[in-house]
Amino acid sequence: MRITILMIPISAKSMPTAFRTRRLWLLALGLLSGCATFQPRPISPAGSLASYDSRSLANPGLGKFLASNHIDLPARGRPWNLKALTLAAFYYQPALAAARAQLLAAQAARVTARERPNPSLSLTPGYDSGVPAVPSPWIVPVALDWPIETAGRRGDRMAEARHLAAAARWDLVGTVWGVRSRLRSALLALYTARQTESLLARQVSALQRVFNLLEGQFRAGVVSSYDVTRARIALDNATLAQQAQQGRIREARIALAGAIGVPVSALRGVHLSFAGFKRFPRDLTRPAVRQQALLGRADVRAALAQYAASQSALKLEIARQWPNIALGPGYAWNSQLAGDREWQLGLSLTLPVLNQNQGPIAQARARRRLAAARFLGVQSAAVTQIDGTLAAYRSTLGQVRTAESLLASLTRQLESIRAQVSAGELQPLDLANAEVAFYAGAQNQLVTRLAAQQALGALQDAVQSPLTLRPSQLQSTQNIPTRP
């Protein structure tokens, strides 16, 4: 490295005051022209609340985001399915905004890591009282300190920052899957509450017919008051269950709005599609999906990136055993009759005689061991979670088949009883009791299907497969503007 400094001696008295002031201002402006300035951005709680309350699924920005993911914004009256609602949650959810901010901070750290240390310039003028004032008794020493990093420290810093940014990116992917999981669970809860309320309404209607028929028979002296009272209790219990389910529907709508990141008023008049909850795919049960998940899950990749960052951090601390070098060329000038001009070339470095950075190296090694242990723990937990959810889903699929077979038998029985009632072989009370039994069986089947859908959702969360969320959708979540 070669540094050349050209100094032109100028007497302070020979330079006009206005010219000196202007030169100083120009020099200061030149140094500060590349500096950042602070711009305050205060947060208004009232303003952010008003902005949140104004959120809508008809937002044009949301429409553009959906279009970028090849999904059209559902027109008025058209249903929103799970895919569209998931993208709406990606657009609005504050949890994703926080994860994106963490990623931006990690990416900014990469800029810091690749910066080189700035040189410093020192000017220490002195006054020699023993020198006559002609032309000047001033001595003007100028020194430049130019630090040079050694042992590849800058490359190690950049590698550590790169790995930490990768870990932050995988953390964002994990947050995306968490948002999708919460949204799906909320939508499934609303679907279950609506289906259960519908079945309970039909059961209440059937129990009402049973009660009315028994009450008529009681007046005719055919049955006892005990039979009527028992029918009344069953009717009241079913009515209470239906009323409770109506409350659960309202709660589920609020939970769904929260999962999307919009006020519940944004769901007013919005039609929802639950078609996806009627299917039980098997594509996630293949061995290849399990293997891919164990290597590519967001938490596994984030833990691996953290370990790589700890490796780079250890390399950096080992490199710090070696001292940096600082070049310090200097120049001193005295314009007396002798015309003294003195050039200096300084070289300074820290002598590693009292320590060789052993403490930070030992800490970095310990952090690397900790990162390795965390990676193994995350991967082990992933194996347990994937295998557990896979077994649970396969088990519930068998239960769904059994429940559907039972419901089919109940349906055939109900049709047979209806035919017998039409033929006069059975009484209307027999048909009403058969309808009560049928709707009870339908509720059991619904519970079984709910368990299977919950197991499917847990499996989707565990394997984080591209079959569920496309990589392009995950990528698009990184560039959504921050929402108030």
Q: What is the DSSP string of 131-157?
A: S-SSS--EEEEEEEEEEE--TTHHHHH
Helix (H) or strand (E) holding 122: strand 120-123
Pairing of strands 138-148, 120-123: antiparallel
Helix (H) or strand (E) holding 340: strand 340-349
pLDDT score at 42 = 86
Q: Which amino acid is at 307?
A: Y
Q: Bridge partners of 161?
A: none
CA distance 339 to 335: 5
Rounded to the nearest integer, the mean pLDDT of the chain is 86
Is the pLDDT score of 24 beyond 90?
no
- The average pLDDT across 138-165 equals 86
For residue 156, what pLDDT band results from cuts at 50, 70 and 90?
very high
Is the pLDDT score of 333 beyond 70?
no
Q: Which two tokens stand for residue 244?
A: 């409770």
Is the pLDDT score of 310 beyond 80?
yes
Is the pLDDT score of 160 beyond 90?
yes
Output DSSP code: residue 116.
Answer: P
What's CA 246's distance to the chain center, in Å?
Answer: 32
The three-class DSSP label of residue 79 is coil
pLDDT score at 163 = 95
CA distance 349 to 360: 20
Q: Out of 28-32, 71-75, 174-178, 452-456, which region has the weakest mean confidence (pLDDT)?
A: 28-32
- The average pLDDT across 421-429 equals 89
CA distance 74 to 80: 6
- H helices, E strands: number in the chain: 12, 5
CA distance 229 to 208: 12
Q: Bridge partners of 121?
A: 144
pTM of the predicted model, to two decimals?
0.84
**22: number of Cβ within 10 Å:** 11
